[in-house]
Structure 1
Amino acid sequence: MYAAHFGLRELPFGITPDTSFFFGSPRSQEALNTLLIAARSGEGFIKITGEVGTGKTLLCRKFMATLGEDFVTAYIPNPFLEARTLMLALADELEVPLERQVDQHRLLKSLMQRLLDLARQGKRVVLCIDEAQAMPVESLEALRLLTNLETEKRKLLQIVLFGQPELNRKLELDAIRQLAQRITFHYHLGPLSPDDLDFYLAHRLRVAGYTGARLFTPAAVKGLYRASGGIPRLVNILAHKALMLCYGEGRQQVGAAHVKGAALDTVGRKRRLWPWLAGAGALAGMAASLAWTLTR
């Protein structure tokens, strides 16, 4: 694709949560510090919220990678599970040996025994649940009951809930008010600021191996912020497309026109952001240029 053209070892704006690209903006670094402090203090429940695309999954993986060897981590990416299935998923993550068709009593007993064994080894157990707003209320209550297990010093299981703002509304339900009261640390992950965005782009390009001069013009950066609202996932999508268009024209620097074309081509952006672009002519021209370059 365009990697060799710009002197990159890899594509810099992927949307997979690669921790090597983690950008320590003031907000994301503050969120990571909150997680680390909470985990090391031994609190039961921790909550991180943020809109779609603000980097919750990347933060989660960075958090787990940063914890030391005295921590055992479990990760559940899709918690839309009934309570028993959720317990089985946790048992699998903690490598708990179970008999086939194990009953609920033995399942819970085996889980608790594993937690006690790890505690005796000096290990702390942290369960990270992504997309927690999708978790059924009954499953949330089952997790709360698991956190009742503790020694005289600390909890045997800490749980970090990563979710969209809908999670806050779910936690307001009377049925799980006891869980909400146990959340002692929480942080809301917001979008990048306009100043952060420039550093964000430079950081990802540097990690990807870029060593040249400024790749995105100031006008392009402003256009990216306007089109994305500072949401990292949207920034990545738009920056990737803008680089493709720039490469298709054989240019070495991304300008505002490339960002406009990328925004026009992105679902949900066209009508609101670029009403003054008549039709798809601009993008079609760039795409034709890209196709011509690839077939030379």
Structure 2
Amino acid sequence: MYKEHFGLKDQPFGLTPNTAFFLNAQGHREAFNMLQVALANGEGFIKVVGEVGTGKTMLCRKLLNTLDDSFYTAYIPNPFLNPTALYRAIAEELGVKCKSRDGINEYQNSINERLVELVAEGKQVVLVVDEAQAMPPKSLEALRLISNLETETTKLIHIVLFGQPELDRLLAHDSLRQLLQRVTFSYELPPLDKEGTRNYIQHRVATAGYNGAQLFNESALQYVYKASKGVPRLVNILCHKALMAAYGKGDQQVTKGHLVSAVKDTEGVDLPGSVTGWVFAASVAVGLGIMLGLFFTMPGGFQ
């Protein structure tokens, strides 16, 4: 709707992860480096956790797109599967022809045989599981059993788990302590800081083809950070709506006013320094004042 108005070639703040817009921000850079080092060292289990909207899926796809031909990758985007269904999904990702009557033992054997073939071809097999916090505990245990497959010198498969903080709480259960002990590399993905949010917005705008004067003015950039708290998904939502607001008014630059409209239109996001917050603080102060006044005037109280 607004691309032509602002001279953009692409939509800069889409919600679908697009690795062309990947920003090498500090947290994402550290996580990506950790993944590369861990895989280079042949580690069995690797874990990346982060709150909703912090860019886990983007990082996951960046990893998949970056690994060269020496790696064979399998990707499970929806792991809410029982152990049999999980093994079937992994087998299919590995190119194993599955039969409808196959059970968990048949899948285990087929996966093992296929892994041996791939390793013999000089491949490192990497299984990437997104939204891993959704996995049932029995399926996580089934995943651990697959990680046991190894030759005398190397593991047959390396497993990378991406998930929300609930994944850590799930792995803390006593029944999954063996899996938790297998996790040798782990990283918690943080939200963007103030400067990171600024760079994120400007990077996405430039990647989308904008080459004019500063599209988001300074007050708008500061306001986005305060409202989004540096969560990339919220940054995308607010910036997209702010661009629509600016376009609707015929403005060529996004200002704080456009961001205020965007925040008001977005559920779950509060206006920074909103009137509600001041009213609450004032009501608390008044309430304390009344209580103290009553205390000091009560019989036996300080006079």
Same fold (TM over 0.5): yes
Map 1:7-156 onto structure 2 (within 5 A): 7-156=7-156
Structure 1 unaligned runs (5+)? 278-296
Superposed CA offset, 1:241-279 (max 9, x none): 0000001111110000000110000001247764369xx
- The CA RMSD measured in Å over matched residues stands at 1.3
- The amino acid of 2:164's aligned partner reads Q
- Determine the structure 1 residue equivalent to 2:185: 185
Following the alignment from structure 1 to structure 2, what is the Cα–Cα distance between the partners of residues 231 and 39? 27
- Determine the structure 2 residue equivalent to 1:247: 247
- Determine the structure 2 residue equivalent to 1:290: none
Identity of matched residues, %? 53
Superposed CA offset, 1:30-82 (max 9, x none): 10010111111110000000000000000000011111110011111111111
Q: CA deviation at 1:153?
A: 2.1
Following the alignment from structure 2 to structure 1, what is the Cα–Cα distance between the partners of residues 271 and 263? 10
SS in 2 for 1:248: helix
Following the alignment from structure 1 to structure 2, what is the Cα–Cα distance between the partners of residues 273 and 235? 18
- Determine the structure 2 residue equivalent to 1:195: 195
SS in 1 for 2:73: strand
Following the alignment from structure 2 to structure 1, what is the Cα–Cα distance between the partners of residues 121 and 64? 19
- The amino acid of 1:128's aligned partner reads V
Q: CA deviation at 1:99?
A: 2.4
Question: Are residue 231 (structure 1) and residue 231 (structure 2) matched?
Answer: yes
Superposed CA offset, 1:161-213 (max 9, x none): 10111111111111110100010000000100101111111110111101111
Following the alignment from structure 2 to structure 1, what is the Cα–Cα distance between the partners of residues 128 and 111? 16
Superposed CA offset, 1:209-255 (max 9, x none): 01111100110011100110000000000000000000111111000
CA contact (8 A) 2:88 2:98 kept: no
SS in 2 for 1:151: coil
Q: CA deviation at 1:102?
A: 1.1
CA contact (8 A) 1:227 1:273 kept: no
- Determine the structure 2 residue equivalent to 1:214: 214
SS in 2 for 1:42: coil
Following the alignment from structure 2 to structure 1, what is the Cα–Cα distance between the partners of residues 99 and 61? 31
CA contact (8 A) 1:260 1:274 kept: no
Following the alignment from structure 2 to structure 1, what is the Cα–Cα distance between the partners of residues 32 and 270? 34
- Determine the structure 2 residue equivalent to 1:205: 205
- The amino acid of 2:63's aligned partner reads F
- The amino acid of 2:208's aligned partner reads A
- The amino acid of 2:251's aligned partner reads R
- Determine the structure 2 residue equivalent to 1:165: 165
- The amino acid of 2:143's aligned partner reads L
Following the alignment from structure 1 to structure 2, what is the Cα–Cα distance between the partners of residues 138 and 95? 24
Following the alignment from structure 1 to structure 2, what is the Cα–Cα distance between the partners of residues 31 and 240? 27
CA contact (8 A) 2:260 2:271 kept: no
Following the alignment from structure 1 to structure 2, what is the Cα–Cα distance between the partners of residues 13 and 273? 25
- The amino acid of 2:262's aligned partner reads A
Following the alignment from structure 2 to structure 1, what is the Cα–Cα distance between the partners of residues 273 and 121? 56
- The amino acid of 1:202's aligned partner reads Q
Following the alignment from structure 1 to structure 2, what is the Cα–Cα distance between the partners of residues 165 and 7? 39
Following the alignment from structure 1 to structure 2, what is the Cα–Cα distance between the partners of residues 68 and 190? 27
Q: CA deviation at 1:98?
A: 2.1
State the 4+ residue runs in structure 1 displaced beyond 3 angstroms.
270-277
Q: How many residue pairs align between the two structures?
A: 277
Q: Give the structure with higher Rg (CA).
A: 2
- The amino acid of 2:123's aligned partner reads K
Closer/same/farther in 2, CA of residues 229 and 270 from structure 1, 3 Å limit: closer
Closer/same/farther in 2, CA of residues 38 and 11 from structure 1, 3 Å limit: same
Normalised to the residue count of structure 1, the TM-score between the two structures is 0.91
CA contact (8 A) 2:227 2:272 kept: no
Following the alignment from structure 1 to structure 2, what is the Cα–Cα distance between the partners of residues 129 and 139? 12
- The amino acid of 2:240's aligned partner reads H
Question: Are residue 5 (structure 1) and residue 10 (structure 2) matched?
Answer: no
Following the alignment from structure 1 to structure 2, what is the Cα–Cα distance between the partners of residues 17 and 242? 20
